[in-house]
Chains A and B, each alone.
Chain A
Amino acid sequence: MRSKTFASAVAMLFVVAGVTPANAEIVITQKAKKFDKKRIEIKKGDSVKFINADSIAHNIHSRSRGNKFDLGVSKPGTSVSKVFDKNGKFKVRCAIHPKMKLTVKVN
C-alpha cells in the first residue's frame, strides 16, 4: 500500500513540476479478487505494475481496440508490468475474475 501511494505521489510531483519526467511506474495491487483501484490516469510511456497480493492466481489482459494484450497468469506473490505507449482509454480485466475491472487512461 505504502509503496503504491509513494509511486503515485512521485508521478504527481513530476506532473506538477512540469519537467519531462522519466517514465513513471504505477502500482496496482490485486487483493481479495479486486484491483485496489478502478481507474487510473497515466502518461504515455508510463508502466503499470500489477502485484498479486492474493493467494490465488490472476490474469491481466485487455481487449480494447488498439491495445490488445494478455499478460498471462500471475501467480500469488508475483508481479507483472505493462508499458502503455499509446494514448487512449483502455479496459484492463482479469479474465478469470470478471468482477476485476480497471480503466487505464493514457494521456
Chain B
Amino acid sequence: MGVPVCNKNKLSKFAITMVATASAFATFVSTTAISAEKKSREEWKKEYVRPSTIPFPTDNPYTAAKADLGRTLFFDPRLSGANYISCGTCHNPSFAWGDGLAKGIGHAMTRLGRRTPTILNLAWGEDLMWDGRFESLEQQALGPMSAAVEMNQNMKAIVAELEAIPEYRTLFNVSFPGKGITVDNIAKAIATFERTVVSGVAPFDRWIAGDENAISASAKRGFDLYNNKANCVACHSGWNFTDSSFHDIGLPDKDIGRGKIVPGVVVMQHAFKVPTLRNAVERAPYMHDGSLKNLYSVVEHYDNGFVKRPSTSNEIYKLNLTQSEKTDLVEFMKTLSSKDAPVALPRLPAYDQTVAGSLNVSPAAGPSADSGTPSVQKGSCNTFLMHYIPCSK
C-alpha cells in the first residue's frame, strides 16, 4: 500500500499511459460543481477520486531517462553555488518533500522569508511558489537555483560545471539528443522528475475507493465538516486538496505575498497560494510563514484566529466549531497521509578522473566525500568556481 508514484516500476507504466494523453494539462480537470444546494457525503466523495495518470506538458513530455536525470540533478548539491545545497536539501523526501522548518534556510545559512513548500503533486499545480510568480515548473526549477539567498548558483557557470562531469554529458545527450547540457534542459529534467513526485494512496483514498473501514467515524465526520460548516472545500478542493488559488487567510504578518506580483488588486494583498493538504501531518509547521505549530492550531486559525482586513478572503469567516468538531477535522486530515516508502538517493556522477589539470581542478583537490565542499588548488583560478571561492592569484 502507499507505493509512491516515483517508484521505478510505476514510472514505466505511467510512461505508457502518458503517451496517450497528448493534451497533457487537460487530462485532469476537476469537474467540481459548486452549488448552493447541500450535497450528500456520497456526492462529495465523487469529487475526491485520484487521477490515474500524471499530466505532462506537450513541450516537455515524459521520458524515463529525463525523469531519472532530473532525479539525479535534484539531489546533486553541485547545482548550488557553494556545492553544498541540492533541491533535496530543503525539499527533503523524508519530510514529505519539505524541510520541517518554519522558514527555509538558504545559502550561507540565510533565513528565507517563507516556509519551504512541498513539491508533492506539482504536476497538477500552476503558478508556482507561494506568490505564484512562476508559470511553470520549468521556470520554477531555475528560480531557487539562481537566487543569491537560496542556492546561489551562477547560471552562466552551471553548464560548464556539469560539462566537466563526463557522466552528465552522457545523461543529457540521452535525454536531449543533439542538444546536451543547457540551462533549459537542466530545468526540463528537474521539472519532469518533480512531476513524478506524487503522494501515494492514503487511507482517505481507500475510503473513497469504497473501503468503509479505511478511516474512522471521527474522520468521516471531519470530511462532512470540511465540505460544509468548516468551508475548507472553498479552496482546498479536489483529490489534491487545492484549487491552486490565491487568498489572504488573515495571518498577521507583513508579507504581502502575491500583492507584489499582482499590484493594484486589493484581494491579492497578503494573498498566498493554497497548498495541498496531502501528507500534511508530516509537514509541520504550517502556513506560508510557518507560524502555526500543528493542525489543531491551523483549525483554530480558521475557526476564529484570523485578522480581518480589506484583502481577507471572502471564504474566511467565523466558524463556531465545537471542540469535537475541531478534533474531527484534524482526524480527517490525518487520513490524507500516504506514508510513502522511503526514497532512495541517487548515486551522483563523479568528476572526470582522466583529464586532470584541464579544468584547473586537481583530482586530489576535487570535492571529497567527507568535506562536501570543493577546494581549489592554490594559484588556480578557474572561471566556473570563481563565483563561490575567491581565487588566490
Contacts and interface: CB of A to CB of B under 8 A. Distances in A.
Which of B258, B265, B266 counts the most chain A CB atoms within 10 A?
B265
Interface in B93-132: 126-127, 132
A79 to B, nearest CB: 15
A98 B32 contact: no
A49 interface: no
B267 interface: yes
B33 A70 contact: no
A31 B35 CA distance: 9
B315 interface: yes
Interface size of B as a range: 20 to 34
B245 interface: yes
Nearest to B314: A57
A56 B36 contact: no
Interface of B: 31-36, 126-127, 132, 234, 243-247, 258, 262, 264-268, 271, 313-315
Nearest to A74: B314
Contacts of A68: 264
Nearest 6 A/B pairs, CB to CB: A57-B314, A95-B265, A97-B245, A70-B265, A98-B127, A56-B234
A32 B34 CA distance: 5
B43 to A, nearest CB: 14
Interface string A10-50: 00000000000000000000011100000000000000000
Contacts of B31: 32
Nearest to A72: B266
Given A33-B34, A57-B315, A95 B126 contact: no
Contact of A61 (B36, B265, B271): B265
A95 B262 contact: yes
A68 B271 CA distance: 20
A57 B271 CA distance: 14
Given A98-B245, A99-B244, A55 B265 contact: no
A16 B352 CA distance: 73
Contacts of B246: 95-96, 98
A72 B246 CA distance: 14
Interface of A: 31-33, 54-57, 59, 61, 63, 68, 70, 72-73, 75-76, 95-99
Contacts of A32: 31-34
Contacts of B36: 55, 76
19 contacts: A32-B34, A33-B243, A55-B35, A57-B315, A59-B267, A61-B265, A63-B264, A72-B266, A73-B314, A95-B258, A95-B262, A95-B268, A96-B245, A96-B247, A96-B313, A97-B243, A98-B126, A98-B132, A98-B245
Given A95-B246, A95-B265, A97-B245, 15 more contacts: A54-B34, A55-B36, A55-B234, A56-B234, A56-B314, A57-B315, A59-B265, A61-B265, A68-B264, A70-B264, A72-B266, A95-B262, A95-B271, A97-B243, A99-B243
Contacts of A54: 34
Contacts of A72: 266-267
A8 to B, nearest CB: 24
A62 to B, nearest CB: 10
B267 A33 contact: no
Q: Which of A31, A56, A61, A73 has the most CB of B within 10 A?
A: A56
Contacts of A98: 126-127, 132, 244-246
Nearest to A68: B264
A97 to B, nearest CB: 5
Nearest to A95: B265
A61 B245 CA distance: 15
Given A95-B262, A96-B246, A75 B314 contact: yes
A70 B267 CA distance: 10
Nearest to A54: B34
Q: Which of B35, B36, B127, B245 counts the most A-chain CB atoms under 10 A from its CB?
A: B245
A68 to B, nearest CB: 7
A38 B277 CA distance: 30
B26 to A, nearest CB: 12
B271 to A, nearest CB: 8
Contacts of A99: 126, 243-244
A83 to B, nearest CB: 19
B23 to A, nearest CB: 15
B267 A56 contact: no
Nearest to B248: A96
B39 to A, nearest CB: 11
Contacts of A59: 265, 267
A70 B247 CA distance: 16
